[in-house]
Chains A and B, each alone.
Chain A
Amino acid sequence: MLTQGFSVHYSPLDYLGTKTQGVITAIKNKDEKIVKKLLAMGVHKGMQITLEQKFPSFIIRVGRTRIAIDKNIASSISVRVTTRN
């Protein structure tokens, strides 16, 4: 079998495991207010993101900021995974 030495993995944040690192590829939520709040806290397309915890709430680190979000908001952040575990 021919295996590629390099794979790209895209996923909504809530499907990832803890300690995953990645780059934000899109932020989409039907509630525009949530998107605006995320932008205001520095959660942008192209930023590095680390998922630190999933329960009881999601904790993410973006830049030097640490943010707690619920599952609904987590599902609105799409990530290109850069770590493999």
Chain B
Amino acid sequence: MSNQLLYYSPIETAINRIESLLEDPLESKISRRSIALLLLQKDPVLRSQLQEKTYFSEIERIVADTEAYFSESLSSVIAESRHKRAMAIEQDITIQPQQQRAFKNEWLHKLTVHPVTGVPILALVLYYGVYQFVGVFGGGTLVDGIEGFFESHINPFVNTIVAAIFPWQVIQDLFANDYGIITLGIRYAVAIVLPVVATFFLMFSLLEDSGYLPRLSLLIDRFFKTIGLSGRSIIPLILGLGCGTMATLVTRTLESKRERIIATLLLALTIPCSAQLGVILGLLSQEPTALLVWATVMVAIFLGIGFLAGKIVPGNASCFYMEIPPLRLPRPQAILTKTYVRLKWYFGEILPLFIFASILIWAGKLTGLFDVLVRGLEPVMLWLGLPKEAAPTFLYGFFRRDYGAAGMFDLHSSGILAGQQLVVAAVTLTLFIPCVAQLQFMFKERGVKKTIAIAIFVVFFAFSLGYLLNQLLTIMELSF
């Protein structure tokens, strides 16, 4: 067998004819044969590159002539030849032992994909993997430890040093004190985001390398079709429970534009990130009815908005296909390397944003712009049945999504926010615009127009729903 892959003769003839037409040195990096093959398969990039050439119409004619020889598309015919050759090579060089077991761990695979056993396994994986490990251990235990260390050791130290170097309060506030670059920006990145994201990436790499994620997708696909998504979307949506910013980036792995828009919208509106989730769960868990109302409302909105978006957002219904790799025991070395590389990338992208947010808060307070915005928000708070003291919580919540929830915690413990108000505030804050970092990534991934449309919708929807919920709870006379 020669090393050269030979296609059916009409295709070989076409390749020769196209090769003789191509003479520019422009495509010197790719062999002429490859270019000819790509043109026969109607590669859109190459076609637009060669559109202007005088010989382009000649190429079009050759492609059309060749197509007439086959009943299937040239892509299929070419792929078939390649595949045959690959199979021949494989048969040549591999030995099949007699009675080889077709797949290892077949029973485990069956358990994970069968609807009766697969769904409970899915629930267990999500509960222990995401909620217990990332939420409770990463977002609770680790965050408390590192955050406490910052509060008790690093922040006072930085405050003293900065105060000694700069005699001016304004400059001191830029670096230290409540909203400084080091005391807020860096602390936030290291104490809150690092443990959550590290535990999350660790768990995610583990699920990825074990081969479980495609099985999760295939279980959920049919259900996700009803909200305009496909099984593939479960991956960014679960990532969103860790960090919405990262998840928005991952939506680029989705198949269609339509699916990417719906997933971005659901991430921005309904999926609470781990920082937020931690505080809200902590706050509402003292009042089980409140927690139940919050959870019910969030799930209903997720389903409702997903269903409507699936009807409204233009484009074809999503399709779903995914290779199912065998289940494997992950190698610790590979997991750790993956987690490390992701964390490194993540910090490169995210740390400047936190520093930027600190500077923005500093400038906003300095110029009095924040006071103006807070006063503007106060009537909205009253409209929602909330005390006007809740206004700063919403504004700062935009810069640090969890700060909004943490602000609620303070308001609750000082007795300003109680019962019904707490539920309304929690729902509105969860729905409200994601943090500034996520918004920035939405601009990057979805473009300016779509992001502005989504942002306006989210703000409008969050406050309207808060209002409705407040009215509804008042009518139903639910007490918490």
Contact = CB atoms under 8 A, between A and B. Distances in A.
Chain A partners chain B: yes
Interface of A: 27, 31-32, 34-42, 44-45, 53, 55-57, 59, 63, 65-70, 72-73
Contacts of B79: 36, 39-40, 44
Contacts of A38: 321
Interface in B302-351: 316-317, 319-326
A69 B83 CA distance: 21
Contacts of B115: 55-56
A35 B221 contact: no
A12 to B, nearest CB: 16
Given A31-B316, A53-B113, 7 more contacts: A27-B76, A37-B321, A39-B75, A45-B80, A56-B115, A63-B87, A66-B103
Contacts of B222: 55-57, 70
Interface string B361-377: 00000000000000000
B40 to A, nearest CB: 14
A13 B409 CA distance: 56
Given A57-B221, A59-B218, A34 B75 contact: no
Nearest to B82: A39
A31 B316 CA distance: 10
Contacts of A66: 103, 323-326
B412 interface: no
Contact of A44 (B73, B83, B317): B83
10 contacts: A31-B319, A38-B321, A39-B76, A44-B83, A57-B231, A57-B320, A66-B103, A68-B322, A69-B322, A70-B222
Nearest to B222: A56
A70 B113 contact: no
Contact of A72 (B103, B219, B319, B324): B319
A36 B321 contact: no
Interface in B260-278: none
Given A35-B75, A39-B75, A44-B79, A56 B218 contact: yes
B214 interface: yes
Contacts of A34: 319, 321
For chain B, the bracket of interface size reads 20 to 34
B83 A68 contact: no
Contacts, number: 85
A45 B70 CA distance: 14
Nearest to B221: A57
B230 interface: yes
A20 B83 CA distance: 24
B460 to A, nearest CB: 34
A73 B221 contact: no
B324 A59 contact: yes
Contact of A73 (B80, B218, B319, B326): B319
Given A44-B83, A45-B80, A57-B218, A68 B320 contact: yes
Contacts of A53: 113-114
Nearest to B71: A26
A54 to B, nearest CB: 10
A69 B324 contact: no
B428 interface: no
- In the A-B complex, list the 9 residue pairs whose CB atoms are closest, starting with the nearest: A68-B218, A39-B79, A57-B218, A70-B320, A66-B324, A56-B222, A69-B321, A68-B322, A57-B221
B217 interface: yes
Contacts of B325: 66
Contacts of B113: 53, 59
A41 B321 contact: yes
Contacts of A63: 87
B310 to A, nearest CB: 15
A53 B114 CA distance: 8
Given A36-B75, A55-B115, A70-B320, A44 B80 contact: yes
A68 B76 contact: no
B230 A70 contact: yes
A32 B225 contact: no
B248 to A, nearest CB: 24
A70 B322 CA distance: 10
